[in-house]
Structures are given as structure tokens and as C-alpha cells.
A and B are shown apart, each in its own frame.
Chain A
């Protein structure tokens, strides 16, 4: 399968044609469109926003507001004022644990998280529990590493104040049933906090339909710049929450002895905001939503090969279609057609934006799963290829993941090795570390093959017989 995006769109990849970048779950490469949007903001529109005494400041304010509206549309949040810009997922989750947590969690209350959480959705809740004298309950995982709904049901009680969980695990790639988990939390009067760092970049997400109270994600994992992230929340929850940080922008009136707070979203955005970051994130969304692919549904190797070459051409053609010419309804119909049993009909589906990305990654991870499974000594962690996003964690015989990363690096394959900021999960898996390959729009079959070749080389270097 060819890449969904043109590698030429990404200056770093274009400058390093031999590089196989398989660490997009850590951070993605940036398309020229995003880099240019940030430069353009500083070159043409830069001023401190919300100080609108002159036209330039109004322009900066407009760019910032437009970016917020773009993000809201992208994640299906009908109320753009409930989209808060932060530094990233980590800050978004700390904001909730700190502002909501301190006001709502007391001694004897329970906080429920899962055993698969990234430290960013683990440590803030653990520290809150320690500070407030609350109990931290850690929901066990099903055998495929996803949240075990039955055990979660047994764990939540009327004392449970919050259920915090990842939409997609950054280590195992399993996709959790968000609506079901949110419903379980709401049954006992708890709020549902979802870490979307590994889902928003990879699949369509509609906040209004998920049923969670807050949802967090990062810009840099979806082609946007580092240092910008998002917290989306429901209006009642955000309005009930006290501020996280205080200072400029977030106030209404400041008196000698008291202060009143600005309205949403400003209440949670103290200080001069990262306007260029927000503009860059909006450009990233524009870029991702503009990606187009077509694909036959038949699964035979032959038709898959046909499908990929066609998709590549279609994708290039798609970039020349002006946005206004695209018919969203037609795309939706095509998506519906894709969901039908296309193999029976042999139809060709046109996929756009996040649907195309999800489809592309599923195909790549399936291929990687198959290739790595063929290598003797490889253990893959997490669900089978059907229930995972584009993340693959594995080990190879007694070769430490850091050694694998070094060997692969010498062959221009970049993977992550270590605990992936999920030490509690590593303990549950019974390993000190894993290697992790993660895929994105610019990856193709050649990247997977280079990974497999590199692992064979690792076997050889560590004295294992050729398979």
C-alpha cells in the first residue's frame, strides 16, 4: 500500500528519502502547509490577541478564534466556546484533575482509572487521590489490553467521582468503547474524562456523540506544532469548574480583594495564548481533512495491489480539487457504502479525511502485524489487527527494545523503545520495556518492510538462526 499523504508534503521526509519514520505516536512530522501557516501568522498577523485597540490585534484575535472554530468542527463539538487551548494533552488532563478535582474530590471518594493509562492520565489522578485522601482504583484490563467493561462495572460505586481512561492506548493501540464507559460513569454520578491523544489524530471523533464530559488531545501528534493542545468539555462542567491558572485574559474584573472570571473559553486560558500554535493546528486539520483515497474492498492480495496504486493516483488528484468543490454529503454516502459489505458488491469507495486515515492505518497495521508475526521470537502486545489503531508494540526474543531501536536506527528505521510513559502498564504486561512502531499518513508498505528487515538483522546480530 502506498502512503496516503505525499511524502513531498513533509519537508523533513522529503529531505531524508531513506528515512522510515515509525514513531508518529510520539510526534508526527509536519507538512509544509503547517510550517507555512505558522510563518504566515508571524509575518502577517502577529499581535497580542484580545487587546483589540488596533486592526492588527483584531486580526490576531480573528486568527485565534477561527482556529478554535476549526478545531470545534473537526472534533464534532457544537459549542466552540467549550474548546480550550492548552499546551497539550498533559496540560489538558492536569487542568481537569487540578481544577475540577480539587473542587469535587474529597476524603473517601474514589477515582477510577485503567491499568493502561499514559502517565499523563495516571499521575495527576494518583496525586489528586493522595492529596485529597481519596482512593485510586485501577481497572484491570481485558486479555487484549482494552478496558474490561464488566470489571469496570464492578469497580464503580456511588463514591466514584471520576472515571478517566484513554480512548486508544498509546502502547497497545486498542480502541476502548468510549460511550459504554461514559455511560457506566454517569450511572453512578461520576464524570467521564477521556484521553484522546492517540485517537483524534487517527480516526473520526465526534465529541458531542461520545457522551464524555471532557476530552483531551495534542496538536503535535496530528501534524500540528508542539506546544498546542485541546481540552473539550461540556458547558455545564466547564462553567462549574474553578479556573486552573489565574492572570491576564482569564479575568473579568479585578478588585483589590477579589476577582471575577471571564467567560468560556477564556476562563481557562490565562496569559497570552499560543496563537501561532492554534493557527498551525488549524492548518494541520485542514491538511488531514483534505487527504483522499479510494479503495476496493476485496481482500485478495491482487485486488489490494490494484487498490493501492489507484489510491495513490486518486490521492494526488484529490489535492487538486478545491475544498469548495468537495461534496461532504457525497463523502458521507461513500463512507456509508464503505461500511456495507463492499466485498459482496465489489464497489470502489472514496474515503476522505479521518475516514481515509483510519482506513490507511488499519491496512498498514494489518500488514505489519502479519509481517512481524512471521518473524520467529516476535511477541506482539495488545489486540489483534482488527481492533487496534496504528500502534504496534512488540518484543523480539531476549533482545532488549533499546538494542532493537539502535539496530533499526542504523537502518534508518525510527521506532520508540522503552516504557512509553506507561510504567504501570509495563508491569502489568510483565516486561520492563517494549519496542513500538506507529504509523501515520506518510507511511507505506516499504516502511513496514524495512522494519521487518531490520528485525531480521537484529536476530542475526544477536546470533539467532535465519528464519
Chain B
């Protein structure tokens, strides 16, 4: 049976970098000296993530850890996100969050933003509306953690 455009969309979505973060997540586990911990859930699918952050004296993120259940997109996003924000000031994180949100809206320029690092591998999610929520969930946790930690 013809499957128009099936492979490009899927290949763009499931890049090896995403699967690699899914199977070997960075910053996974419990942060003992966390300043803030946030749990986010997607009741529609049962995904659940805990994000913990520790800040340095300037308010920058000193360490980030996550744990939980989810699909490859949500867990890879969480893994990449924790890598991306570690050592960054709040202003830099806000800018990155903005870039990521634009990338999910399909903005091609945002998808090349160097500050996004590995997160750029998630640009294919923009073409799969049913999964955008999966990539947003860890950012929702981050937004709440940052506002709780202020």
C-alpha cells in the first residue's frame, strides 16, 4: 500500500539522538540537595515527570535531575532539557524556552539555534501535532520549577 510521506516524518521524529537520550537519559534520578521539585502529569496518557533543580548564588541552575514515566519524546526532551539548562542563568533559560516553543510551532530558524543544543533534534515533533504535548511537558515542569524557585 502506498504510504505517502510516512518515512520522512517518522525518520525526522525518531532521530538516533532522541532514541539515545531515551535509552540513556542524562541527569536521570534524584537530586539530594534540590532547591525545588515539581511533578507534572499528562492525565490523558498517564505520563508523569518529576523535575528537581538546584540553584547557585546568582540564581543560575547549578544542577537538574528528572525521573518519571513517558514516551521517547517526553523522556528525551527531559534529558536534553536538563543538559541544556545546567549552568545557565534564568535569562538564558527563558530565551532558550522561547526558542524551543517557536521550534515546536514549526519555525525553521528557531530549529537551528545553537543554544538549543541536542534539543534541535526534536524539531520533527512540529509535524506531528498529537505529540507536541509530549515535548512540552518537561518545559512545563521547568517553568513551574523556576517560578517556585524564585
Contact = CB atoms under 8 A, between A and B. Distances in A.
Interface of A: 18, 398-403, 405-407, 409-412, 417-419, 423, 426, 432-433, 450, 457, 461-463
Interface string B72-86: 110000000000000
A122 to B, nearest CB: 15
A402 B134 contact: yes
21 contacts: A398-B23, A400-B71, A400-B72, A402-B134, A403-B14, A403-B71, A406-B10, A406-B13, A406-B130, A410-B9, A411-B3, A412-B1, A412-B3, A417-B45, A418-B44, A418-B45, A419-B46, A433-B45, A461-B14, A462-B14, A463-B16
A259 B114 CA distance: 72
B90 to A, nearest CB: 31
A409 B131 CA distance: 12
B38 interface: no
Contact of B1 (A18, A400, A405, A419): A18
A406 B23 contact: no
Given A406-B131, A409-B130, A462 B19 contact: yes
Nearest to B4: A18
Of all A-B residue pairs in the complex, the 9 with the closest CB atoms, nearest first, are A400-B71, A402-B71, A432-B69, A419-B46, A410-B6, A461-B14, A418-B45, A403-B72, A403-B71
Interface centre among A401, A402, A409, A461 (most CB of B within 10 A): A402
B44 to A, nearest CB: 7
Nearest to B127: A410
SS class, residues of chain B in contact with chain A = helix
Contact of B131 (A18, A402, A462): A402
Nearest to A20: B1
Contacts of B130: 405-406, 409
Nearest to A449: B1
Contacts of A405: 130
Contact of A410 (B1, B10, B44, B72): B10
Contacts of B69: 432
A411 B128 CA distance: 13
Contacts of B138: none
Interface of B: 1-3, 6, 9-11, 13-14, 16, 19, 23, 44-46, 69-73, 128, 130-131, 134
Contacts of A401: 71
Contacts of B9: 410
Interface centre among A401, A403, A409, A462 (most CB of B within 10 A): A403
A432 B68 CA distance: 10
A418 B48 CA distance: 12
A374 to B, nearest CB: 20
A42 B66 CA distance: 55
Given A400-B72, A418-B45, A433-B46, 10 more contacts: A18-B2, A398-B23, A402-B134, A406-B128, A410-B3, A410-B10, A411-B3, A461-B10, A461-B14, A462-B14
B33 to A, nearest CB: 29
A463 B22 CA distance: 13
B125 to A, nearest CB: 10
B23 A400 contact: no
A283 B3 CA distance: 35
A410 B23 CA distance: 23
A418 B34 CA distance: 31
A426 B70 CA distance: 14
Contacts of A423: 46
Contacts of B72: 399-400, 403
B138 to A, nearest CB: 15
B46 A432 contact: yes
B104 to A, nearest CB: 15
A432 B41 CA distance: 13
Interface centre among B6, B23, B70, B130 (most CB of A within 10 A): B6
A411 B9 CA distance: 11
Contacts of A463: 16, 19
B84 to A, nearest CB: 22
A463 B24 CA distance: 14
A450 B1 contact: yes
A450 B3 CA distance: 11
